[in-house]
Amino acid sequence: MFRTNPARSDMRSYSPLLLCLAAALSSASVIFSPPMWTKLILTQQWPSTFCAMEHCHSNISYWTIHGLWPDRGMDCNSSWHFNSSQIEDLLPDMEKSWPDLIKPSSTGFWKYEWHKHGTCAARAASLNSEHKYFSKALELYHKVDLNSVLTKFDITPSEKYYEFSHIEGVMEKVYGVKPKIQCVHQSKNAAFQTLGQIEICFDPDFNPLDCEKQLTTDTVSKRNWDTLDRASGLSVCDVDTPVYYPPLP
Ligand SMILES: *[C@@H]1O[C@H](CO)[C@@H](O)[C@H](O)[C@H]1NC(C)=O
Ligand SMILES: *[C@@H]1O[C@H](CO)[C@@H](O)[C@H](O)[C@H]1NC(C)=O
Ligand SMILES: *[C@@H]1O[C@H](CO)[C@@H](O)[C@H](O)[C@H]1NC(C)=O
């Protein structure tokens, strides 16, 4: 993905003057930083499905935030450390809406998301502080209000199965854009798939945008089912397989 700097691969044939020029250009960070993001992905997870994969225990029966991810870049600024004092006023909402399902009283999940995705989102002036980033994620989460939308259309956790097109159709109708809906697939020809994660995308002005079908960096394909790690094991739901939306165990 990242092309080697041609100045580096073939330096021997360059004159000293060109070498100086190449060195000057190389030090300009704009050449090496990835292009600015063009899409933000608000990812929400269903705690029962997440905890079935990760062997945690959760009594939460609403969709919670997994992250707010720009489509380009990861770990963009390792010297920008997470500091929970910067978001002190947001903490009550963070604990409710963006809980760490594995370690409920820790700030580790927010720290991880900040370093991996927040420092890249922060390249936009609208998100260039910890407070701006986390408050925007909470704002979008509440605005989208996925929990109410699904309930309103009678899509509730239950022992019966849903048609994938019904779930997708409701969301498209309400939001006016295509979400990306991810499931856990028990095996290749399983009778059902389990609803796990929903992505809703936004443009840089925070207007809803179609999500593409392609897998994001936080997901893995089905063949990795046997080697699950945190937040993996999900892939785009199959159109034709019934969807299980699991209630609390
Ligand atoms: C979930 O569990 C927590 C801690 O175990 C408890 O404080 C909370 O009241 C429970 N919530 C519900 C809805 O049962
Ligand atoms: C990285 O973060 C540090 C600490 O917040 C900041 O001073 C610096 O300007 C940032 N660098 C970039 C390229 O954004
Ligand atoms: C964290 O943020 C608070 C509030 O802005 C500040 O007083 C403190 O120095 C920061 N801590 C670190 C380690 O940067």
Please tell me if the CB atom of residue 80 comes closer than 6 angstroms to any atom of ligand 2.
Answer: yes
Q: 79 in ligand 2 pocket by Cβ < 6 Å? A: yes
Q: List, for residues 60-118, the tens digit of each pLDDT value.
A: 999 999 999 999 999 999 999 999 999 999 999 999 999 999 999 899 999 999 999 99
Residues 6+ apart with CB under 8 A from 182: 196, 197, 198, 199, 219, 234, 235, 236, 237
Question: DSSP letters along 106-152, please?
Answer: -SHHHHHHIIIIIHHHTTSGGG-SHHHHHHHHHHHHHHH-HHHHHHH
pTM listed for this prediction:
0.81
Identify the CATH number of the domain defined by range 35-244: 3.90.730.10
Least confident of 100-114, 116-130, 175-189, 225-239: 225-239
Q: What is the pLDDT of residues 1-44, one digit of tens each?
A: 344 343 333 334 444 444 444 444 444 444 556 679 999 999 99
For the chain, what is the mean pLDDT?
84
Active site residue 199: no
What's the distance, Cα to Cα, between the start and end of the chain in Å? 42
Indicate whether residue 77 lines ligand 2 (CB < 6 A).
Answer: yes
At 233 the pLDDT is: 83
* 66 tagged catalytic: yes
Residue tagged active-site, from 113, 130, 168, 199: 113
DSSP class of residue 196? E
Query: Which pairs with CB-CB distance under 8 Å and at least 24 residues apart come from 167-174?
Result: 167/195, 167/243, 171/198, 171/200, 174/149
Q: Is 113 a catalytic residue?
A: yes
Residue 177 C-alpha to ligand 1 middle, in angstroms? 34
Interatomic CA distance for residues 147 and 141, integer angstroms? 10
Which ligand has an atom closest to residue 129 CA? 2
Domain ranges across the chain:
35-244
Q: Is 74 helix (H, G, I), strand (E, B) or coil?
A: coil
